[in-house]
């Protein structure tokens, strides 16, 4: 097994689409199902449809690799999702009163604070710092005017698209746990291809280009992943792979839910189709029992009737041990 950190050093703005009214919204991060689908798309282009389907077939037995969502980094500060658990020490009313609002307004934690939270160490000394690493200073959003032309009347309709621009020495990263070492180079090559062609939407106008930095994880990450905890915190989206056990799964759990929907494209067809909607547990969810997840089929009904390859969203859980 090999565990890598992939850092995306963007040199153009990017568009990671979210639902919006009047404005095409963009997120500053990329969920694990999106980066997995992007890898599969690039894999199909670089290595061909047959090789891509062979790789996906391996997931029926055991996942050849797991991947986290793509979170922000700034220099050597890596941000992680805030666990959906009570912060350590907040059983004390005075600490809760002093730092409650500060913690409530944070969605992502610097690595050091996440590690203390995961090990249930006192975090009030860290929170007393005058300036915490600023998540919002890593990026900024830009509104770009766009226009669509009505095909019958030729009238133009203006709309605005929100793109994300990463500041100097900032970008996105993800952790990749590779169980099948024979595909490591192909994963890296697929991510490099995405860097040249673009990650996210609106790639046809040059968005989402980056330089890939592919490295082994350091000792801090190894210690975090090897920690002996009594619960599991997700760093990816998670889709329950066993039906009928939801009640036992969520017993003692703290979690968020997210609905995943949108459009699909494939290098093997020029058409785009709306994929099926699926709900998943969000990053930062905490479960008492070991979880695995699965690849969930979101193949559009119109394609199920044709001789077309299945379309998946990645619901395999990438977790870190924590105390809860």
pLDDT score of 11 more than 80: yes
> How would you class 14 by CB atoms within 10 Å of its CB: exposed for 0-12, middle for 13-18, buried for 19 or more?
buried
The stretch 168-181 carries a mean pLDDT of: 96
Q: What is the reported pLDDT for 273?
A: 72
Burial class (CB in 10 A: 0-12, 13-18, 19+), 267: middle
pLDDT, average across residues 274-298: 89
CA–CA distances in Å: residue 17 to residues 111, 235, 248: 26, 20, 34
pLDDT band at 97 (very low <50, low <70, confident <90, very high): confident
Q: Give yes or no for residue 321 having a pLDDT over 70.
A: yes
The confidence score (pLDDT) of residue 125 equals: 77
pTM above 0.85, yes or no: yes
Residue 213 Cα to chain centre, angstroms: 17
Q: State residue 24's pLDDT score.
A: 63
Of 97-106, 267-276, 287-296, 310-319, the one with minimum mean pLDDT is 267-276
pLDDT digits 0-9 by tens, 254-282: 999 998 887 777 766 666 777 788 899 99
Helix (H) / strand (E) containing 276: strand 269-281
The pLDDT tens digits of the residues spanning 55-94 come to 998 998 889 999 999 999 999 999 999 999 988 888 888 8
pLDDT band at 131 (very low <50, low <70, confident <90, very high): low
Pairing of strands 210-216, 312-314: unpaired
Residue range 2-22: average pLDDT?
A: 86
Q: Phi first, then psi: what are they for 23, rounded to 5°?
A: -135, 135
User: At CA 235, angle to CA 9 and CA 318, rounded to 5?
Assistant: 110
The average pLDDT across 282-307 equals: 83
Distance CA 200, CA 102 (A): 32
Q: Dihedral (C-alpha) 43, 44, 46, 50: value to the nearest 10 degrees?
A: 110
* Tens digits of residue pLDDT in 187-205: 999 999 999 999 988 888 8
pLDDT at 133 > cutoff 90: no
Q: Which residues contact 315 (CB under 8 A, 6 or more apart)?
A: 33, 237, 238, 239, 240, 241, 278, 280, 293, 294, 295, 296
> Is residue 104 classed as helix, strand or coil in its secondary structure?
helix
Give the confidence band of 302 by pLDDT, cuts at 50, 70, 90. Answer: low
Task: Give the mean model confidence (pLDDT) for residues 133-137.
Answer: 83
């Amino acid at each position: 097994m090999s565990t890598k950190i992939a850092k995306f050093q963007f040199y153009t703005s990017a568009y990671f689409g979210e639902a919006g009214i009047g404005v095409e919204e963009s997120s500053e991060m990329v969920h694990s199902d999106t980066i997995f689908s992007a890898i599969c798309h690039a894999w199909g282009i670089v290595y061909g449809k047959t090789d891509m389907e062979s790789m996906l077939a391996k997931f029926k037995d055991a996942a050849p690799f797991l991947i986290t969502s793509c979170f922000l980094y700034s220099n050597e500060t890596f941000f992680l999702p805030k666990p959906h658990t009570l912060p350590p020490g907040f059983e004390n009313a005075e600490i809760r009163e002093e730092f409650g609002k500060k913690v409530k307004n944070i969605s992502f934690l610097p690595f050091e604070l996440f590690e203390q939270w995961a090990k249930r160490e006192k975090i009030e000394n860290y929170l007393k710092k005058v300036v915490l690493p600023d998540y919002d200073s890593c990026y900024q959003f830009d509104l770009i005017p766009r226009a669509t032309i009505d095909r019958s009347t030729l009238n133009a309709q203006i709309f605005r698209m929100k793109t994300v621009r990463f500041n100097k020495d900032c970008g996105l990263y993800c952790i990749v746990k590779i169980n099948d070492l024979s595909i490591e180079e192909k994963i890296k090559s697929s991510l490099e291809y995405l860097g040249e062609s673009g990650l996210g939407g609106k790639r046809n106008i040059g968005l989402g280009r980056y330089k890939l930095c592919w490295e082994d994880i350091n000792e801090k990450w190894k210690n975090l992943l090897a920690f002996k905890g009594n619960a599991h915190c997700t760093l990816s989206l998670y889709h329950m792979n066993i039906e009928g056990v939801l009640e036992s799964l969520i017993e003692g759990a703290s979690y968020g839910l997210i609905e995943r929907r949108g459009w699909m494209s494939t290098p093997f067809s020029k058409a785009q189709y709306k994929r099926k909607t699926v709900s998943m547990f969000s990053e930062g969810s905490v479960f008492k029992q070991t979880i695995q997840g699965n690849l969930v089929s979101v193949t559009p009904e119109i394609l199920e009737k044709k001789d077309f390859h299945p379309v998946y969203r990645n619901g395999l859980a990438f977790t870190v041990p924590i105390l809860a």
